[in-house]
Amino acid sequence: MTERTVGIVGAGQIVRDIHLPVLLGLPGVRVAWIADAAPERARALGRDYGIHAVAGAASPGQLPPADVALLGIPAHAREGYLRAFAERGTAVLAEKPFAIGAHDHERFAALFPEHRLACGYMRRFYRSTTILRRTVAARPFGALLALGVAEGGRAAKSGFDTTFQDRASAHGGGVLWAIGCHLLDLALHLTDASAFEIVSKDVVFDADTDREATATLDLQGVPTRFCVSWLGPQEDRVTLEFERASVSAGLSPDSAVLAMLRDGSRLALGLDAEERLAATTSYQAFHLEWREFLDGVERGTPSRISASTSLLTTRLVDALLAREPA
């Protein structure tokens, strides 16, 4: 097996707690270096794991070579790195959101072949997501009539260091970019929608930072209720209404998927024997996204998290954040 080297830009929480342990456990992968705008943070993480830390706050063009790069830095600071890596032929997996706004998303995606650029919407690899998506496609309970997704609470986690949660939405702060984009991506992924319409929306702003967003959407004929909030608790659940059953699951990787049939009986849904591996923990989800992305880079085939596949998610967040004219 050919060894693939990975360079990491960003030494924050999501890298420290999940990406780095997952990468160190992947066969045929060597983490070659780590860099951060705060060099002491990169040095501390490098020291803990025996990884070379880039001295100083290196500019994109000064970073050491690597086959693949992880961008674990805020989306508004990525352009220079994406351009440098594209020029070198380095594949990139970026944490979500891929870019702040659809215009940048399209510009950055155009720099790379589709199979060499990914955005980490890892909920696509959850066991529950796999079951729900197959249930929509296979129609064992008839057609999908409606969808509801909700997440939040006063202590809802974003996966980012907390300093980014209070940034203006234009710089990647706020609840929609922090956790709402995951929820919207899940809704689009389940319905396989290629277009959306916002029927109504209500976004609560604190100056330039969004704290709560509720909306009624039309995802190509599927009425969808959406709510994400840092102001109060939500169901943290996805619910699908079919012709002959209501199917729901929690948002955790190991959530059970339950169907309530119209006659009142309950049914637990599981994976089909032929379906691919699916994650029941966050670490498994990150493992699967990295493995599929790296395999796709080697074979020249796009993965489920190719950056091109989340452009509609970015467009939907854009549309929800757009303020009505005064």
CA-based max dimension of the chain: 65
CA–CA separation, 17 and 162 (whole Å):
15
Alpha helices in 123-233 (DSSP H): 127-138, 175, 181-191
Query: CA–CA distance from 156 to each of 90, 97, 164, 236 (Å)?
Result: 34, 17, 14, 10
Token reading at 57: 């706050």
**Confidence category of residue 55, pLDDT binned at 50, 70, 90:** confident
Task: Give Cα 104 distance to the centre of its chain.
Answer: 17
Residue 117 has pLDDT above 60, yes or no: yes
pLDDT at res. 156 = 47
CATH 3.40.50.720 spans which residues of the chain? 4-122+295-299
CB atoms within 10 A of CB 20: 22
Classify domain 4-122+295-299 at the CATH topology level: Rossmann fold (3.40.50)
CATH 3.30.360.10 spans which residues of the chain? 125-271+307-321
- Cis amide bond preceding 74, omega within 30: no
Residue 174 has pLDDT above 50, yes or no: yes
Q: At what angle do helices 311-321 and 181-191 cross, to 10 degrees?
A: 130
pTM of the model: 0.93
User: Of 36-50, 148-162, 210-224, 254-268, which gets the smallest average pLDDT?
Assistant: 148-162
**Confidence category of residue 64, pLDDT binned at 50, 70, 90:** very high
Domain 125-271+307-321 sits in CATH 3.40.50.2300: no
**Confidence category of residue 109, pLDDT binned at 50, 70, 90:** very high
Task: Give Cα 178 distance to the centre of its chain.
Answer: 10
**What letter represents residue 136's amino acid?**
V
User: Of 35-49, 63-77, 105-119, 158-172, which gets the smallest average pLDDT?
Assistant: 158-172
